[in-house]
Copies of this chain bind each other. A is one copy, B any other.
């Protein structure tokens, strides 16, 4: 409601790039989302030899276009933020940089394969845009339930790993190298494959005793899959319990971020950054 003091192009650009409250900001996010998905599909297609052979030039040009777009976006982000260094060394700042430079490096050294794959990091950028997802209001309770059950699931998965190591060692002794259980790490790998009910079948017990122990492992795995499910289910049920009034106050629909310190999650009616006290651009 309060008019901001100076609304120069930097502040406006910041609002478009970092916020999603204005129509321009929303469009920026949607276009960025599409560009990222397109670039991921490009990286995938490049790795398919037959497609790369036939459309090499087209793929190369498209990749350059996207790389240049991302470069412009990166520079814009650095310029419009008040503390550029803070952004550059933040998680998303590094992801933005690392997912853009491989193409430039390939210009100098030729198409270095391992670096090219860094471009897959672009996918991580989707999560930044998906603060949009909050509008859906869908995953709020879910995230809370997952956070509440994180410690318990960790303890559980830790126990699974210990069981896998002990059972893997036993299977190594029972089956031995001639049946594919060539060392303990591989045997533990097999045990995890079996406990999680994945069951590739690249290694499978051949001796009757081995198959008997494998049966026990499978039934155990079948039984313990109930544990993480039970945890999440119970936590989520308790998150769903009817005390919605105090909860509602906590929902932040405001996607704006501070032009000074990039902090987000401001209250809808906030006029100053809760983090640094800087004036927000509430137009």
Q: A residues near B, CB below 8 A?
A: 40, 43-44, 47-49, 114, 117, 120, 123-124, 126-127, 133, 136, 138-139, 142, 145-146, 151-157, 160-162, 165-166, 169-170, 172-173, 182-186, 188-189, 192-202, 204, 208, 211-212, 214-215, 218-219, 221-223, 225-240, 242, 244, 246-247, 250
Contact = CB atoms under 8 A, between A and B. Distances in A.
A211 B189 contact: yes
A229 B231 contact: no
Contacts of A185: 44, 47-48, 208, 211-212
25 contacts: A47-B184, A127-B162, A136-B155, A138-B151, A138-B154, A138-B155, A142-B152, A185-B211, A188-B215, A189-B211, A189-B212, A192-B218, A193-B215, A196-B197, A198-B218, A199-B199, A201-B201, A226-B229, A226-B231, A230-B231, A230-B236, A233-B237, A234-B237, A234-B239, A237-B237
A146 to B, nearest CB: 7
Given A153-B223, A215-B192, A247-B242, A48 B232 contact: no
B232 A226 contact: yes
Residue picked from A133, A156, A193, A234, most chain B C-beta under 10 Å = A234
A201 to B, nearest CB: 4
A219 B161 contact: yes
B162 A126 contact: yes
Contacts of A169: 43, 117, 120
Contacts of A126: 162
A159 to B, nearest CB: 9
> Is chain A's binding surface mostly helix, strand, loop or mixed?
helix
Contacts of A244: 250
Given A47-B184, A215-B189, A219-B160, A227 B146 contact: yes
Question: Quick one: copies of this chain in the complex?
Answer: 4
A249 B157 CA distance: 28
B153 A226 contact: yes
Contacts of A225: 222, 225, 228-229
Contacts of A146: 227
Contacts of A227: 142, 146, 232
A128 to B, nearest CB: 12
Residue picked from A120, A183, A196, most chain B C-beta under 10 Å = A196
